Structure 1
């Protein structure tokens, strides 16, 4: 994080945006792969292929898109939301704009307030250890 905070703001923002987009999209594709590539018990497969799950996938694909950008304003929820977006097969035409908006918000937050917080923690830590 120190290397990023030492960069000019546009470079720090860009680096954080690339990092969050790679992480979020990798998590989405892991969710997609978990549904199609994993070995499931007969009972789990029946539930995942049932009409209730298909309905949930349709609803998530249509309305769950709002949860993706909002998850980037929380701590610890982004991974679950991005994984579930992939697992429920949210269409890329909805997911990519949502994750881009969320990634931009996250990069803005961390390249401003996050960097100041990181610098404050580093200053406190160096005062404690010296």
Structure 2
């Protein structure tokens, strides 16, 4: 994370955007793979029946394509929403624009406020350790 904080804003934003776009789309495709009968570990199978996944499916069903970009402003449900979008076979023509908006929001948030917070924590850590 230190390397990203040292980058100019545009590069930090771009780097974070690529990272989150890859992660979100990989999660979507994992959801599609789970639906198509891929062999699931017992742990993953239990998670698919867990409360976070059920909540994500309810949000996805209720709010549809709006849930995907809004999930990037939350903590703890983003992965479940993207997985749920794949698991419920949200069409790519709807998912890709929604995930792109979410990734832009996430990258903007983390390349501004997130980097300031990270720098503050690092400074505090240096002062405590010294």
Q: TM-score range by the shorter chain?
A: 0.7 to 0.9
Please report the RMSD computed on the Cα atoms of aligned residues, expressed in angstroms.
Answer: 1.8
Q: Corresponding residue for 1:46? A: none
Deviation at residue 95 of structure 1 after TM alignment: 0.2
Tell me the distance in 2 between the aligned counterparts of 1:120 and 1:22: 28
Tell me the distance in 2 between the aligned counterparts of 1:122 and 1:21: 26
1:2-40 deviation line (CA, Å, top 9, x unaligned): 101100110000000000000000000000000103358
Structure 1 runs not aligned, ≥5 long: 41-55
> After the TM superposition, which segments of 4 or more aligned residues of structure 1 sit over 6 Å from their partners?
none
Deviation at residue 77 of structure 1 after TM alignment: 1.0
Deviation at residue 82 of structure 1 after TM alignment: 0.1
The verdict on how the C-alpha distance between 1:91 and 1:63 changes in structure 2, with shifts beyond 3 A counting, is farther
Question: For the pair shown, which has the larger CA radius of gyration, 1 or 2?
Answer: 1
Deviation at residue 76 of structure 1 after TM alignment: 1.2
TM-score, normalised by the number of residues in structure 2: 0.81
Q: How many residues align?
A: 112
TM-score, normalised by the number of residues in structure 1: 0.81
Q: Corresponding residue for 1:126? A: 126
